[in-house]
Structure 1
Amino acid sequence: MSKLKTLRPDLQYIADWIPPQSRVLDLGCGDGELLAWLAVQKEVSGYGVEIDVNGVVGCVANGVNVIQSDMESGLSTFEDHSFDYVVLSLTIQAMHNIEGILQEMVRVGKTGIVTFPNFGFWENRWQILMGRMPVSETIPFEWYNTPNIHFCTVNDFAKLLNKSGLKIDHQLVLNQGEKVEFLPNLLGSLALVRFNKV
């Protein structure tokens, strides 16, 4: 296995939420960075799901079990409650069937964890006010080359979970890796939400 990386701040917060020896499914896992770290530091077992070939190769190099699949078609490969945690980090905004994937996350896992860029962040609002689509650290693409198709705010996501019969267990909002507690929908650039069924 390659040398263990220091995790991005959002991934470190996710790792802090996951107890030792948990079973974890990481959707859109990239090169498996989170699962590799959890396996070494917390003896976590699990799988990554990744569609990109380079990500799959990275997972294999990092010693992570990975399935190459498009999660848009569902998670039918996995039985109910196969995992303790199902993670979807910085991917939900690029998905077509958001409600479907949220339901699938809590079907195959006990708890879901989602992270997403907060479109309500003041810098994004300012760029729109100035007549431009936002480009930032958490939304790094131009409007014409972005994989993102659904932007939401912290408040929008909470409303969607409620509508979908899901409840927030814990929520963190970050800006440049630091927690934002005052006016998080305005001052936070990235949201982390842990949720489960009502």
Structure 2
Amino acid sequence: MSLRPDLEIISGWIRRGARVLDLGCGDGTLLRHLHETRAVTGYGIEIDPDNVEACIRAGVNVIQTDLDAGLSDFDDDSFDYVVMTQTLQAVRHPARLIDEMLRVGREGIVTFPNFGHWRCRVQLGLQGRMPVVRTLPYQWYDTPNIHL
């Protein structure tokens, strides 16, 4: 299984046998990898029905819900790690969600797209539009990103 570079780095930070909550888990790639290589247990949270279905097919525990509703279904310190990759920019209340991450997990890991990278800046400068890249293949008018 080939992981995105950020997921590869994150998987090295997660200790064996940990409890992990993956916010905006997509198709469950990270949780599946962590289960297979680090024997973690955990859940993914995802809103997209196609990704939820992909998680179920892959045997990943997934809950379909909107992260903007919060994490009230989870008790304090329910997880060793709460991971949110490439999702922060798509939620309406990022500060509130980060507070919730730190409530339900002992450690929080957050990644987000680097639109300040020189290639993105060049594309924006030359084409006058938000960059379309492999990891975020959305046109400016059809993107889930509401915070850039």
TM-score (normalizing by structure 1) = 0.70
Q: What SS does the corresponding residue of 1:24 show, helix, strand or coil?
A: strand
Find out whether 1:24 has 2:9 as its counterpart: no
Deviations 1:121-175 (A, max 9, x none): 1122223333512222344222111111111xxxxxxxxxxxxxxxxxxxxxxxx
Q: Secondary structure at the match of 2:75?
A: coil
1:109 counterpart residue number: 105
Looking at secondary structure, tell me which structure has more strand per residue. Answer: 1
User: Among residues 42, 47, 63, which one is paired with 2:43 in the alignment?
Assistant: 47
Residue 138 (structure 2) pairs with residue 147 (structure 1): no
2:32 corresponding residue in structure 1:
36
Structure 2 counterpart of 1:119 = 115
Q: Name the SS for the 1:144 alignment partner.
A: helix
The letter of the residue matching 2:7 is: L
Q: State the one-letter code of the partner of 2:134.
A: E
Bigger Cα displacement from structure 2, 121-130 vs 97-106? 121-130
- Distance in 2 between residues matched to 1:135 and 1:55, nearest whole Å: 21
Gaps of 5+ in 2: none
Separation of aligned partners in 1, 2:46 and 2:17? 22
- 1:90: how far off? 0.9
* Structure with bigger gyration radius: 1
Given candidates 9, 12, 20, the residue that maps to 1:13 is 9
Question: Displaced runs of 4+ in structure 1, greater than 3 A?
Answer: none
Instruction: Using the aligned pairs only, state the percent identity.
Output: 54
Deviation at 1:36, TM superposition (A): 1.1
User: Which amino acid in structure 2 is aligned with residue 147 of structure 1?
Assistant: P
Q: What CA distance in whole angstroms lies between the structure 2 residues aligned with 1:102 and 1:127? A: 30
Spell out, residue by residue over 1:12-35, the C-alpha distance to the aligned partner (whole angstroms, 9 max, x if none): 111011010110000111121111
Aligned residue for 2:57?
61
**1:93 CA drift (Å):** 1.1
Partner Cα distance (1:49, 1:118) in 2: 23
Aligned residue pairs, count: 147
The alpha-carbon deviation at position 6 of structure 1 amounts to 2.5
Query: Judging changes above 3 Å, is the alpha-carbon distance between structure 1 residues 53 and 21 closer, same or farther for their aligned structure 2 residues?
Result: same
Deviates more, 1:6-15 or 1:71-80: 6-15
Normalised TM-score (structure 2): 0.93
- In structure 2, relative to structure 1, the CA distance for the partners of 1:34 and 1:139 (3 Å cut) is closer
User: Aligned-pair RMSD on alpha carbons?
Assistant: 1.3
